[in-house]
Amino acid sequence: MKFPKVHSLEEIANLLKCEFIGDKNFEVLGMNEIHVVEPGDIVFVDHPKYYDKALQSAATIVLINKKVECPEGKALLISDDPFRDFNTLTRHFKPFQFANVAISSSASIGEGTVIQPNSFIGNHVKIGKNCLIHSNVSIYDHTVIGDNVIIHAGTILGADAFYYKKRPEGFDQLISGGRVVIEDNVGIGALCTIDKGVTGDTTIKEGTKIDNQVHVGHDSVIGKKCLIASQTGIAGCVVIEDEVTIWGQVGTTSGITIGAKAVIMGQTGVTKSVEGGKSYFGTPIEESREKLKQLANIKKIPEILNKLK
C-alpha cells in the first residue's frame, strides 16, 4: 500500500509516538507485508525469530520492538507493539469509509456493464466494460474489476484478511487496507469469497474461471486461465501460476506456490509447494500416480497378512 504522498521518517514516528533510528528526513513511501515489500516501504516485525528476515528484506523502514543495529541504507521505528502500530498506520492512511447507498457515487462502472438488484458497489470501486454482476453481490471499497467479468449471486469481494494476533484478552485483528483485483474475462461463481490483501492486492488474473463456493485468502495471486472447482479453499499468500486446474474440495496451506499447468485432484490437501506440469492427489500431497499406487498397495495388506498367517 503506497501513501498518497511521500512522508519523512520523523513524520511517521510522530504519528506512532515512537522512537526512530536513521535520518529524520528518510523517505517513507508506503507499507507492506514482508513477501511484497519494496524500497520505501515499512514492514513490521515483533518476534526475534523474524528479525533478520525483516531487516534484510527489500523494505527500507523496519517497525520493530527492539533496538538493533540498523542496516546501511535503512531506518528503524522502535515500537513497544509493532502489530498495534501497523494497524495505526492502516487506519490513518486507509480509514473505513461509511456507505449509505447501494452503488457509491465514487464508483466507476464501464459501458455495457449490468448490475442486478440488491448488489452493493463500494467506494472507489472500478468495474470495466460489459461485465455482469448478478444479484446480492458485495464489492467492497477499492476493488478493481476488468472487462467482460461475470460474478454470480452472493459472492463477496474484499472482506478482511483472516489474520490475528493472540493476546491475553483475546484475538487482535490485523486490519486490512489492501484490494481485490479481478482482471479481464474472469468468471466467478455463486457464493464465493475473495478476501482483500492486508496491504497489497489479492489478484485473479485474466481468463480464470472459479466455480461456486470457493474461498480465496488474502494476498493470494491466481494466474491466467486457471480452473478452480467448487468448495476449494485457498489460504492467504498463495501463488497459483498460469493454467492450473484445481478440482473440488481442495484445501491449501498458506504461503505456497502451485506451478503452472499443475492439476490438483479433488479433496487434496496442498501442504507444500509443488512443481508445474504434473498431477497431484492426497493429503499430504504427492504426485497422483505415486499416491494411487500406494492406495492400491494398502488394499493388499489384508491379503498379505492372511498369507503370513
Distance CA 236, CA 161 (A): 8
Residue 235 CB-half CA count within 13 A = 14
**Residue 304 confidence (pLDDT):** 83
Using 50, 70 and 90 to split pLDDT, how confident is the model at 89? very high
**Residue 251 confidence (pLDDT):** 98
Mean pLDDT of 61-71: 96
218 catalytic, yes or no? yes
**Residue 306 confidence (pLDDT):** 86
Select from 93, 122, 149 the last residue of a domain.
93
Using the predicted structure, report yes or no on whether residue 309 has a pLDDT greater than 80.
Answer: no
In this structure, is residue 181 part of a structural domain?
A: yes
pTM of the model: 0.93
Are 60 and 198 in the same domain? no
Q: Which residues pair with 5 in a beta bridge?
A: none
Indicate the residue type of 73.
G
Task: Name the average pLDDT for the chain.
Answer: 96
Radius of gyration of the chain measured on its C-alpha atoms: 23
CA proximity to 186, closest of 156, 147, 143: 147
Are 77 and 119 in the same domain? no
Task: Give percent of the chain above pLDDT 70.
Answer: 100
Could you report the per-residue pLDDT of 18-43, keeping only the tens digit for each? 999 999 999 999 999 998 999 999 99
Task: Give percent of the chain above pLDDT 90.
Answer: 92
Distance CA 1, CA 41 (A): 8
Could you report the per-residue pLDDT of 97-134, keeping only the tens digit for each? 999 999 999 999 999 999 999 999 999 999 999 999 99
CA proximity to 199, closest of 80, 56, 45, 37: 37
**Residue 193 confidence (pLDDT):** 98
**Residue environment code for 79-90, b if the CB has 16+ CB neighbours within 10 A, otherwise e:** bebbbbbbbbbb
Are 266 and 165 in the same domain? yes
Q: What is the residue range of 255's domain?
A: 108-292
Using the predicted structure, report yes or no on whether residue 88 has a pLDDT greater than 90.
Answer: yes
In this structure, is residue 24 part of a structural domain?
A: yes
Question: Which set of grid coordinates corresponds to residue 271?
Answer: 501442504
Mean pLDDT of 275-287: 95
Distance CA 100, CA 103 (A): 9
CA proximity to 214, closest of 160, 282, 152, 286: 152
**Residue 294 confidence (pLDDT):** 85
**Residue 13 confidence (pLDDT):** 98
**Residue 175 confidence (pLDDT):** 96
With beta carbons less than 8 A apart as the criterion, state whether 226 and 206 touch. no
In the chain the first and final C-alpha atoms are separated, in Å, by: 67
Name residue, grid cell 521518517: 9
Are 139 and 280 in the same domain? yes
Instruction: Find how far residue 301's CA is from the centre of its chain.
Output: 43
Using 50, 70 and 90 to split pLDDT, how confident is the model at 303? confident
Task: Provide the 10 A C-beta neighbour count for residue 169.
Answer: 6
- Active-site option among 134, 152, 215, 218: 218
Pairwise pLDDT comparison (301 vs 78), residue with the higher score: 78
In this structure, is residue 103 part of a structural domain?
A: no
Residue 40 CB-half CA count within 13 A = 9
Distance CA 32, CA 177 (A): 10
Could you report the per-residue pLDDT of 180-235, keeping only the tens digit for each? 999 999 999 999 999 999 999 999 999 999 999 999 999 999 999 999 999 999 99
**Residue 298 confidence (pLDDT):** 86
**Residue 267 confidence (pLDDT):** 96
**Residue 42 confidence (pLDDT):** 98
Distance CA 181, CA 169 (A): 35
In this structure, is residue 236 part of a structural domain?
A: yes
Are 40 and 178 in the same domain? no
Total domains in the chain come to 2
Name residue, grid cell 459472492: 155
